[in-house]
Structure 1
Amino acid sequence: MNHPALPIPPDAALKRGDSSIGGLLLESGKITAENAERVLRMQKELGIRFGEAALRLGLITEADIQQVLAQQFEYPYLQPGESNFSPRLVAAFDPFSPQVETLRAVRSQLMLRWFARGRKALAIVAVDSGDGASLFAANLAVVFSQLGEQTLLVDANLRQPNQQDIFDLKGRQGLSDVLAGRADLSVVTRIDSFVDLSVLSSGTLPPNPQELLSRSSFGSLNAQIESRYDVVLYDTAAFATAADALAIAGRVGGVLLVVRKNKTHLDDIMTMCDQVTHAGAEVVGSVLVDF
């Protein structure tokens, strides 16, 4: 038996720019205006939520619901294939996974142990290149921005930079150009996919990275950056590659060690900790990664 179509009251109609679940689904193109009316009729008839009705009609998926909920709560993330970012940026593409829950736990510890003490900057350092420090720094920056902290990720690896590939920022001026006086902080790139995330890429690869990072101008630049952002994360060259990380650590004051399971040697970790301390910085903590 067919039911007569229920009239949709004027105040229930959806329109673009509406911040409700239905409005956001319409704005994002997940449903059409015609389908929205079908959903509204089922919602009124059964007394259920708009999202549940759209799911029952097969117009959207659970992933679509999660994405618009994230928009409502200002917790943006991306669908696979939605951008040119690295798919390994799990905090952007899979924010509800156990891996990202672990990142959020690290974030909480850093907020308590470091940033709550009035600190603004932190260097992310690994013993060897390929230990995953760059990817960890990128994901950590994303989860800090999702917390609502104005976050800047600085690619301070002036030898083998990675953030330009992770965030698709190739060919841009960056840190080295600023330190050489060839650019200013207008080269910082705001990542529009997230509310509070910006990236300063490495820039032109210089012949003298350690000298650039050891200049007093780096300390001045860091102070300027700290005045603009709540959280500043420096992705550095690996400790075994050069002493660049120590120059950065001495300026920013704190280091988070990234240690790779079944690869990084304990003796190397102890050596790095000793040298970081001698450089006048504090080892805030360590993270064990496994891949």
Structure 2
Amino acid sequence: MHDLARAAFDPEDPLARMARALRGSIIASAAQGGTRPIRSVAVVGLHAATEASILAANLAISYAQLGTQTVLVEANPGEALQRQLLNARHGSGLLEILNGEEDVRSIVEPSAVRGLSIVTTGVVRDGAMMLLDGERFHRRAMPLLDAFGMMVVDVGMAFNEPPTLCEALDAAIVVVRRDVTSIEDMRCLVGRFEEMNVRVVGSVIAT
């Protein structure tokens, strides 16, 4: 396992502590709003795709450590890092699931962290981004929640237009870059999530 998956082996590392704090914010957000529990969350990087992927891995680890059966789904064709971070082995992944080539239950694989499983991006071909739509994701990937209590989705994303697959999810965490991401970019992204009826439950500034 990569040393950036800090929550797996160093609970006092700042990254591990941040992941636990975000996990607490997600749980509290649902409780305060009197709404149903949040069981799926996108981690989106605005000018900070790599940091978003690292945070997604650590957030998923923190949920598994809480005793929640968790699945980390990598929806990041531009910069797929989860295979490296969590030592995933499957060649096929989310793109094959969304394209109807594979069943999601046959692709999910356990990680080295107890209670955490992973679905990687898969093989990136031309038109991969077109597969990341909400209806397709809802129909072919969301059945994972029949077996898991929490789904963390690594969306990555270098720009301010999230893929419509986020429409299928309960909430989002946004990672932005200091001195690069503008307030206007952030407002635009949050506005898109509001249009999708997706709650933004946390934000992180990457340096």
TM-score range, shorter chain: 0.7 to 0.9
Residue pairs, 1:229-268, within 5 angstroms = 229-240=148-159, 243=161, 245-268=162-185
Is there any run of 5+ residues in structure 1 with no aligned partner, and where?
A: 1-84
Judging changes above 3 Å, is the alpha-carbon distance between structure 1 residues 222 and 182 closer, same or farther for their aligned structure 2 residues? closer
**Other-structure match for 2:102:** 183
RMSD: 2.1
Give, in angstroms, the shift of residue 170 of structure 1: 5.3
Rg larger for: 1
Equivalent residue number for residue 136 of structure 1: 55
| Contact 1:246–1:275 under 8 Å retained in 2 | no
2:190 counterpart of 1:273:
yes
Give, in whole Å, the separation in 2 of the partners of 1:120 and 1:234: 11
**CA distance in 1 between partners of 2:155 and 2:96 (Å):** 16
Q: Partner residue of 2:145?
A: 226
- The 8 Å contact of residues 42 and 173 in structure 2, kept in 1 or not, is answered as yes
- The answer to whether the Cα contact below 8 Å between 2:134 and 2:166 also exists between their aligned partners in 1 is no
Q: Deviations over 1:48-72 (max 9, x none)?
A: xxxxxxxxxxxxxxxxxxxxxxxxx
Whether the aligned pair in 2 keeps the contact of 1:121 and 1:252 (CA below 8 Å) is yes
User: What is residue 120 of structure 2 aligned with on the other side?
Assistant: 201
TM superposition shift of 1:221: 2.3
The 3 A distance-change label for structure 1 pair 171 and 194 is closer
1:257-281, Cα deviation, whole Å (9 max, x unpaired): 1123343222211111112212332
Structure 2 letter corresponding to 1:235: D
Measure how far apart 1:129 and its partner are.
Answer: 4.4
Contact kept? 1:131, 1:259, Cα under 8 Å:
no
Q: Is the Cα contact below 8 Å between 1:239 and 1:272 reproduced in 2?
A: no
Please give the secondary structure, in 2, of the residue aligned with 1:203: coil
Structure 1 residue 215, shift from structure 2 partner: 6.2
More strand by share: 2
Deviation sequence 1:31-59 (CA, Å, 0-9, x none): xxxxxxxxxxxxxxxxxxxxxxxxxxxxx
SS in 1 for 2:132: helix
**Unpaired stretches in structure 2, ≥5 consecutive residues:** none
